[in-house]
Chains A and B, each alone.
Chain A
């Protein structure tokens, strides 16, 4: 093997060479194409713009290997521990990247909705996804997306026919449980909404223990004309885990995407959101909240491409950093020459609770059209002493007061989550994390 493929041999296949997972021939061919691409790609270094502040050293050192073994039965109480009380959803459970019917509860679905595991769907209907997979992602130039395609095997499939509206959210739970060796799971999620379809997707990454593992998820999302998708992603991996997400989104005219990205877990986490518009008057709203403490990196890359006129995009990310926590926000909005009347606003605000925390924030607007409304702003600040004093003057002890102010800061993003049950869970998690945060 050559290039990056050699560095990630363990990720690719059990025998370290040929991707040999099940599936139709066209899929095998695509895996081989991706593998060939990996032979040409190099492992990124800090000389590359997108990797300037983020090192792959720790991730490479773990020597993750692909997990192929069928999963042992889940502990009986495992499910109870991960469900959110009061969240009424169509539930799909993946354990270590593999669709697990035992913990899934898709429930009654209206006509025109297909939800399930990718591997199952490929087995039942081998050609159903032939034209759909890779349509949005294309031929990935990104190393981790190519790795995912080369090992493509399972994940979530959500297909909504024309004008179908799902009332209850789809909840994708990606649970990782510790195994004999540090394993990598590479789920591939395909979410396609035809014209006028509407849905909410909640995507949760979590673990029941402090296991060491890696998740390398790739999502392909496509919204047809006037389709609406609310997409809430909660990353609560184990504190020893590595997490990668590469999300490709393409939107047709008049469609609306409302994404919320909450990052709380993992020791090393990188999220790339790559969005583009295929038609006019589409809206893309990306909200984000991340917490980074000791031994924790939260790395976000946004690439929002306005290639057609009259689309709107919002990127609003907030971070709370404490201890030796680190974060990277690298946001790029590109407005092409023809994309007149573009309305784009990007903001990244960071609350630093300690002097040793660090954030590298770099919002960029690249504007080639002349009739547009674009703005960007970043802040890196501390808790305002005036506010802290106001709370303390009412008898509230300083640590509680600080936590209240942090939760207030985070609240703007948490409020954008669509379900009360999920908002409560996230607030509680953020509160708990802050409780253990050294406030200096």
Chain B
């Protein structure tokens, strides 16, 4: 589904991703952990096509297509979704209007008919329930004045609505209280399917108790330096990242 090979990317003069490899199959959940500043968000941004990064080497193939040559909207239309670490506020842009534009753009690109207002409203009401979100959010501007937790839940709500094939959740758990974490995790789990894959970026084992990953990777200094099963997360929780660094040095 997603195949990243030898990816190198710069911000300005500074190299952030330094030859990163990652293979994700259909239906798999991959957790990525790693110290602050390691390049986790950079990877999410490069994959989703944000400006400001120069890819200097490597490839990323998604459903057989060269992901890196596509515009951000084309990537989303192909089924890629990024839940932002810091969701952006869009003052004046109505949430319902935004959701409808997004869903219909994606449907249109896939050759599906646009949803009319009634079916659309029915659909979003259903999805809101899953995330325990209040419909008053629909009348407000996108993320504007939302609490930190509301913003994160709104990201997963969008994911539920857009039904991507690959979702990258960048620290969706940070800033959530314990109940909200549970709601978000339930929402994510409800979306698990044999065709839908996810990359879950997190600093905490806690989230992985709820969303059980198939693989855990450690990203440090711009590369995946260790991969394993979910027990790797437990080991990291216990020993920190220094332990892997030391093991690397020794190797």
Task: Report which A residues bind B (CB closer than 8 A).
Answer: 385-387, 389-398, 400-401, 404-405, 407-412
- Could you say which residues of chain A place their CB within 8 Å of the CB of B87? 390
* Mask: chain B, 211-234; 1 = CB below 8 Å from A; 0 = not: 000000000000000000000000
Q: A413: nearest residue on chain B (CB-CB)?
A: B92
B73 A397 Cβ-Cβ under 8 A: yes
A400 B84 Cβ-Cβ under 8 A: no
Assess A408 versus B91: contact at CB under 8 Å? Given A392-B71, A392-B73, A394-B162: yes
Looking at chain A's contact residues, is the secondary structure mostly helix, strand, loop, or mixed? helix
A390 B101 Cβ-Cβ under 8 A: no
- In the complex, what distance in Å separates the CA atom of A228 from the CA atom of B81? 50
B72 A389 Cβ-Cβ under 8 A: yes
* Mask: chain B, 80-91; 1 = CB below 8 Å from A; 0 = not: 011010011011
A395 B105 Cβ-Cβ under 8 A: yes
- Could you say which residues of chain A place their CB within 8 Å of the CB of B81? 393
Interface pairs (14), CB distance under 8 Å? A387-B88, A389-B50, A390-B87, A390-B90, A391-B90, A391-B101, A392-B49, A392-B76, A393-B75, A395-B73, A396-B73, A396-B101, A400-B105, A405-B90
A393 B109 Cβ-Cβ under 8 A: no
Which of A393, A397, A408, A410 has its CB near the most chain B CB atoms (within 10 A)?
A393
Whether a CB of chain A sits under 8 angstroms from the CB of B248 is no
A412 B88 Cβ-Cβ under 8 A: no
Assess A408 versus B76: contact at CB under 8 Å? Given A394-B102, A394-B158: no
Q: How large is the interface on B (under 10, 10 to 19, 20 to 34, 35 or more residues)?
A: 20 to 34
Assess A393 versus B92: contact at CB under 8 Å? Given A398-B73, A408-B141: no
A392 B72 Cβ-Cβ under 8 A: yes
Whether a CB of chain A sits under 8 angstroms from the CB of B134 is no
B92 A394 Cβ-Cβ under 8 A: no
- Could you say which residues of chain A place their CB within 8 Å of the CB of B158? 394
Whether a CB of chain A sits under 8 angstroms from the CB of B202 is no
Report which of B52, B84, B92, B101 forms a contact with A409, defined as CB distance below 8 A.
B92
Assess A407 versus B76: contact at CB under 8 Å? Given A385-B51, A393-B49: no
**Shortest distance between the CB of A434 and any CB in chain B (Å):** 14
- In the complex, what distance in Å separates the CA atom of A408 from the CA atom of B97? 11
- In the complex, what distance in Å separates the CA atom of A396 from the CA atom of B51? 16
Q: Give the residues from 77 to 118 in chain B that come closer than 8 angstroms, CB to CB, to chain A.
A: 77, 81-82, 84, 87-88, 90-93, 97-98, 101-102, 105-106, 109
- In the complex, what distance in Å separates the CA atom of A74 from the CA atom of B137? 47
Whether a CB of chain A sits under 8 angstroms from the CB of B172 is no
**Shortest distance between the CB of B166 and any CB in chain A (Å):** 13
- In the complex, what distance in Å separates the CA atom of A385 from the CA atom of B72? 12
B92 A408 Cβ-Cβ under 8 A: yes
B162 A407 Cβ-Cβ under 8 A: no
A395 B48 Cβ-Cβ under 8 A: no
* Mask: chain B, 35-68; 1 = CB below 8 Å from A; 0 = not: 0000000000000111110000000000000000
Q: A414: nearest residue on chain B (CB-CB)?
A: B92
Report which of B49, B72, B93, B162 forms a contact with A408, defined as CB distance below 8 A.
B93
Report which of A393, A410, A412 forms a contact with B76, defined as CB distance below 8 A.
A393
**Shortest distance between the CB of A1 and any CB in chain B (Å):** 51
A387 B101 Cβ-Cβ under 8 A: no
Report which of B49, B77, B98 forms a contact with A391, defined as CB distance below 8 A.
B98
Q: B110: nearest residue on chain A (CB-CB)?
A: A395
Report which of A385, A386, A395, A404 forms a contact with B93, defined as CB distance below 8 A.
A404
B48 A393 Cβ-Cβ under 8 A: yes
- Could you say which residues of chain B place their CB within 8 Å of the CB of A396? 73, 101-102, 105
| Sample of 18 further A-B pairs with CB below 8 A, known A394-B98, A396-B102 | A385-B52, A387-B90, A389-B50, A389-B51, A391-B101, A392-B71, A393-B49, A393-B50, A393-B72, A393-B76, A394-B76, A394-B105, A395-B77, A395-B162, A396-B73, A398-B71, A404-B101, A408-B141
